[in-house]
Every structure is written in C-alpha cells, then in structure tokens.
Amino acid sequence: DQQVKQNSPSLSVQEGRISILNCDYTNSMFDYFLWYKKYPAEGPTFLISISSIKDKNEDGRFTVFLNKSAKHLSLHIVPSQPGDSAVYFCAASANFGNEKLTFGTGTRLTIIP
Amino acid sequence: ETGVTQTPRHLVMGMTNKKSLKCEQHLGHNAMYWYKQSAKKPLELMFVYNFKEQTENNSVPSRFSPECPNSSHLFLHLHTLQPEDSALYLCASSQVGAGAPSGDTQYFGPGTRLTVL
C-alpha cells in the first residue's frame, strides 16, 4: 500500500506558465514533506520542504502548499523554465526527521519552449 | 570530490556473479542509505546505517549484503542476483540526531544502473 502517491505520471506545461505538481499521502503520522528533482543519469536533488506546522513555504520560483486535512501537498513552479524539465518526487517522513523518507513514484515534468 | 559519489555508474552481471557497489560521502554526515528504484515504482529504502550501525533493513533478501566500515563509506555486496533485481541503486547520506540542522534532507549520489542477465 503506497503511503505517498503522485497520481500524475507526467505533465507538460508551456514555458512561462505555472506548473503544479500534486502529491497525496495516507499516513497521518507524516509531519515533514519534501520535494526532490531528478535529471536523467543523476541522483535526486533536494528542492524544497515543508513541516506540518506550516501550510506554505516559498523559495524563489518554487512554493509548496500543504493541506493537512486533505492530506495533500502541491508544488508550484512559476514561471516555468525549460531547465525545470525533470522528474519530481514527493517524499514524507514522521517526527520532523529526514532519516526515514517515504517516496512517491514521481511526476515527469516537461516544459515546452 | 564533493557530495555523494557512487561507483560503478553502470554494472551488468550474470546471476552467478559476485559484485559490489560503492558509495562515498564527503559531507561529514553520520547516516547513509541504500535505495532501489525500479521502473514506475517509488524509491524503496533498503538499508539505513546510523553512526556505522545498521538501523533499518526493509525485508531485503540476503543476496544483498550491506557493509559500512566507517561513516563515509557504504558498500552493497551482491551475489546470486535475479533478473528482477535489475534497477537503479541509489546511495544517500544525511545528518541525523541531536545537532542535525532542522529541516535538513538526504543527499543522493548519481546511482548505479544494475542489469542482471
């Protein structure tokens, strides 16, 4: 049973528009959420995180929103750039820790020039 | 070298071979991890080492044998693998426990693409 779900395997967005990637989780013990970005032939790299005491965290073009009641988080990228084309993984952990991360299956984002 | 490095980057082996994957982290972290990524599946945590002690083994078959000689190096010894073990194997490291920065994360290596024939 997948505890972290990314239901969209792929997403295409025009350059300059907003990209919205979604993630749902089922484990109510999760209190720390992360987004990773992965290019081909490279390992995942950390992008942004949010703890359950917040509902929004912003870092430049990237904003993560957390809706605890819906057990849903989303990553907004605006404006989208060609270099944002990658696979994005959502991950979650309990106890605000980074030791045991549970990952989703990823969403492949393609930015169309 | 910086960050987390993994060798080899690609490995093809037969089911009767014995091989090892190597991971090295240059970040001064105290925890290291092995993950498996198969096509269309989430990253699966295999093993966790915290201060060189194994703290997690996620029901991984014994044909995968980890070794952590020190906090900077992690190995995954492979023997009598099956074709379904073909996957991308990722190593990661992080700082955990008291003194770890809040909101810190795991840092990944580039992975070893393993093909078992």
Instruction: Report the C-alpha gap between A2 and A24 in whole angstroms.
Output: 10
**For A24-73, what is each residue's pLDDT tens digit?**
999 999 999 999 999 988 899 999 999 999 999 999 999 999 999 999 99
Per-residue pLDDT at A94: 87
The mean pLDDT of chain A is 94
Arithmetic mean of pLDDT, A92-106: 85
Instruction: Report the C-alpha gap between A10 and A94 in whole angstroms.
Output: 27
Could you say which of A34, A100, A103 has the minimum Cβ distance to residue B42? A103
Q: Which residues of chain B are at the A interface, by a Cβ-Cβ cutoff of 8 Å? A: 4, 6, 9, 31, 40-43, 45, 48, 50, 56, 90, 92, 94, 96, 100, 102-111
- B100 to chain A nearest CA, in Å? 9
Per-residue pLDDT at B56: 74
The residue in chain B having the minimum alpha-carbon distance to the alpha carbon of residue A89 is: B42
Q: Which residues of chain A are at the B interface, by a Cβ-Cβ cutoff of 8 Å? A: 2, 4, 9, 32, 34, 36, 41-46, 49, 51, 89, 96-106
pLDDT higher than threshold 90 for residue B39: no
* Distant-in-sequence, close-in-space partners of A26: CB < 8 Å, separation ≥ 6: A1, A2, A3, A4, A5, A71
The DSSP annotation for A21-66 comes to EEEEE--TTEEEEEEEEE-TTS--EEEEEEETT-SEEEETTEEEEE
- B72 to chain A nearest CA, in Å? 16
Could you say which of A42, A46, A103 has the minimum Cβ distance to residue B105? A46
**For B58-101, what is each residue's pLDDT tens digit?**
789 999 999 999 989 999 999 999 999 999 999 999 988 766 56
A69: its two tokens: 């009641």
* Distant-in-sequence, close-in-space partners of A11: CB < 8 Å, separation ≥ 6: A19, A21, A107, A108, A109, A110
